[in-house]
Amino acid sequence: MSWQALTAQTCALGESPFWHPHEQMLYWVDIPGRQLLRANIYMGTVQAWDMPSEPGCIAPAASGGLVVALRDGVFRAREWGGALERITTLPYDTAVVRANDGKCDPAGRFWVGTIDEAKKAHAAQLFSIDCRQGAPVVECKAGNALTANGLAWSPDAQTLYWADTSSHVVHAWDYNLASNAMTAHRVHLTFTPKPEGWSFGQGGYGGRPDGAAVDVDGNYFVAMYEGARICQFAPDGTLLAEFPTPAQCPTMPCLGGEDLRTLYVTTGRHGRSAAELEQYPQSGCVFSMRVDTPGLPVNFFAE
């Protein structure tokens, strides 16, 4: 099995990929590029949609279109390229915090994690936005983090995973989908911190946990930013496999394709060194490879 670049188009920082089963298209975002993107993988075509501010994450809506978390709020797009209708504003200072990793849970709530751009106040949080009864119900579900990432649910939705990338930790909770309650917090995975003074080309660092996905067996796939790999962990935290990536900075995996057995990963090139980009010239591309076990279908936003 080997990686293939989805298109030659690169992103500054690709994130939030999902496979749309009705459209048979792959969606993702370029955060600093302020774009939503989608690809017809059969035709090899990519469409880009400019956003007014940085998009952290997106999800498909059950009634069509998308839900989008921008720096300054959560918006509804009824159609590709259409108007952005504000759903809600999340309670954080947009001067130093923005939306980052997120997706919908199996009940249709949209979850948005944030990033503390100053990396000082541990101001990153995790929010759920429930629009199923009309007016949005916003809850802060976790916090005291620097960079929210790694959000995923087990196949039975009884375990919720969430990473704080900068701390090199993936957390887990018992989760009640009906009540939206998170209990029994524990540290699920820990990774060796980045050595002081480390730079590209040096050994001794395997990266830190960025975006994640779960397959039908409950295995947790996590992109290891600066580690040039995706790690696959069993539900008990055992490392099952490592997939070296053709970019030093993979950002988020998802499983898609008609049979959900294509592993996609977004990557980044923004701010990377000339030496790194020379070794990994396709940094910023979306890559795909085939895997044996299918993933879980994307969850749709409900309203």
Question: For residue range 270-295, what is the model confidence (pLDDT) as tens digits?
Answer: 999 999 999 999 999 999 999 999 99
CB 171 within 8 A of CB 142: yes
pLDDT band for 9, please (50, 70, 90 cuts).
confident
pLDDT-wise least confident of 35-44, 106-115, 155-164, 211-220: 35-44
What is the set of domains in the chain, with CATH numbers?
A: 14-193+205-290 (2.120.10.30)
- The whole-angstrom separation of Cα 11 and Cα 282 is 10
pLDDT value for 99: 98
Residues labelled as active-site residues: 210
Report the pLDDT averaged over residues 92-106.
97
Q: Three-state SS string across 3-39, please? A: CEECCCCCCCEEEEEEEECCCCEEEEEECCCCEEEEE
Residue 112 has pLDDT above 80, yes or no: yes
Q: Is the dihedral of CA 253, 222, 165, 195 positive or negative?
A: negative
The mean pLDDT of the chain is 97
pLDDT band for 120, please (50, 70, 90 cuts).
confident
Residue 253: name the closest of 230, 225, 233 by CA. Answer: 230
CB 29 within 8 A of CB 12: no
The fraction of the chain above a pLDDT of 90, given in percent, is 95
pLDDT value for 203: 87
pLDDT value for 115: 97
CB 16 within 8 A of CB 253: no
pLDDT value for 239: 98
Token digits of residue 14: 């690709």
CB 143 within 8 A of CB 161: no
Task: Sort 76 into a burial class: Cβ within 10 Å, 0-12 / 13-18 / 19+.
Answer: buried
CB 283 within 8 A of CB 241: no
Residue 1 has pLDDT above 70, yes or no: no
CB 53 within 8 A of CB 69: no
pLDDT value for 286: 98
DSSP string across 145-200: ESBEEEEEE-TTS-EEEEEEGGGTEEEEEEEETTTTEEEEEEEEEE-PPPPTT--T
Token digits of residue 82: 């259409």
Question: For residue range 34-81, what is the model confidence (pLDDT) as tens digits?
Answer: 999 999 988 889 999 999 999 999 999 999 999 999 999 999 999 999
Count how many Cα atoms sit within 13 Å of the Cα of residue 212 in the half-sphere of its side chain.
Answer: 31
pTM for this one?
0.97
DSSP category for residue 157: S
